[in-house]
Amino acid sequence: MVLEFEKPIADLEHKLQEMKELATGRNIDLSSDIESLEEKILALKKETFQNLTRWQRVQLSRHADRPYALDYIYEMTNDFVELHGDRNVADDKAMVGGLGDLDGRSVMFIGQQKGRNTKQRQMRNFGMANPEGYRKALRLMKMAEKFGKPIVTLIDTPGAFPGLEAEERGQGEAIARNIRDMFMLKVPVICIIIGEGASGGALGIAIGDRVLMLENSWYSVISPENCSTILWRSWDYKEQAAESLKLTAIDMEGNGLVDGIIPEPLGGAHRDMKKMAITLKEAILQALKELDKIKPEKRIDQRIDKFCAMGVVVE
């Protein structure tokens, strides 16, 4: 999959591949030309990805090849054991979680999971969790607290599922309960937006001591398309909506709504998933190292103070 703004880069990469095949097939020395083209591609990549618009970052966060929660979890951990069910209604496949070994330390991972193909997307409900998904997440958080295990949440959702059946089973209440109870968890909680972070669907697992964002992720009360639909009654203004929402990692950090940005490989996380997983793992371990030094009661107070300080009140 090539996004519109990536096409000039893709064209040059195609020419580079042809040049390499020509050099190999005809035993011609094109090393200087190949090196020159590689430098040109690298320069174009840097220029392109350093100057992305907000809408382009939204597109990159949805890239079909972008790693999802389970991709990172399996890459970062050893002996990951997925846990299922909310012990009440069902096992929501859009919300995943379980225990994994992170450099010798047992960590409770929880995240929203999308699908790669049509069948998987239907099973995962496009990453949109039902109430039982949020209740499963809270059950796993309480389990982690009971056994003294830190919690890491990986957020990637276009929003909680808005269907009638979800509302009938208490979607709003489930998310609100998660938000309330996450404030009081005694173990370290690290929340990372790895792709899309939309509305209460994201916030339902995003109350933590450290809230981080991948460089090309976004975090907002509403998606650009839905914002455009409400304000202009059309999806045609989604780019304008994205600019107005100021939803990128840089915007969020600048407004004090997240604690840091995790850099991605040049071109996006999907360009080098293994490298991205290593960077993500290092960020988690560094945050845990900092949080381990703080007593649980003080961590809870700091967590509450951080979120209460967000926003501007004008009287």
Query: What pLDDT digit, counting tens, does each position of 256-291 carry?
Result: 999 999 999 999 999 999 999 999 999 999 999 999
Q: How far apart are CA 305 and CA 299, in angstroms?
A: 10
Q: What is the pLDDT of residue 164?
A: 95
Q: What is the largest CA-CA distance in the chain?
A: 76
Q: What is the dihedral of CA 190, 196, 200, 206, to 10 degrees?
A: 0
For residues 120-135, give the mean pLDDT: 96
Tokens of 220: 């907002």
pLDDT category at 32 given cuts 50, 70, 90 is: confident
Residue type at 57 in one-letter notation: R
Map tokens 């900092």 to a residue: 290
Tokens of 261: 């940005």
pLDDT reading at 297 higher than 90: yes
Q: What is the pLDDT of residue 21?
A: 83
Q: What is the pLDDT of residue 259?
A: 97
pLDDT in tens, 83-100: 999 999 999 999 999 999
Q: CA end-to-end span of the chain, whole Å? A: 49
Sign of CA dihedral 284, 100, 91, 88: negative
pLDDT reading at 311 higher than 80: yes
Sign of CA dihedral 151, 155, 159, 165: negative
Q: What is the pLDDT of residue 27?
A: 78
For residues 239-265, give the mean pLDDT: 96
For residues 247-254, give the mean pLDDT: 96
Q: What is the pLDDT of residue 315?
A: 80
Q: How far is CA 280 from CA 82, 151, 260, 294, in A?
A: 20, 15, 12, 22
For residues 149-168, give the mean pLDDT: 96
Q: What is the dihedral of CA 25, 29, 32, 38, to 10 degrees?
A: 10
pLDDT reading at 29 higher than 80: no
Alpha helices for 149-205 (secondary structure H): 164-168, 171-183, 199-203
Q: How many beta carbons lie within 10 A of that of residue 250, not counting itself?
A: 13
Q: What is the pLDDT of residue 102?
A: 96
For residue 22, the SS3 value is helix
The mean pLDDT value of the chain amounts to 95
Backbone angles phi, psi at 271, to 5 degrees: -70, -30
pLDDT reading at 303 higher than 90: yes
pLDDT reading at 313 higher than 80: no
CA atoms within 13 A on the CB side of 92: 33
Q: How far apart are CA 123 and CA 133, in angstroms?
A: 13
Q: What is the pLDDT of residue 1?
A: 81
For residues 28-32, give the mean pLDDT: 79
Q: What is the pLDDT of residue 23?
A: 77
For residues 197-209, give the mean pLDDT: 96
Q: What is the pLDDT of residue 299?
A: 97
81 strand-pairing partners: 99
Whether the Cβ atoms of residue 109 and residue 100 lie closer than 8 Å to each other: yes
For residues 4-21, give the mean pLDDT: 90
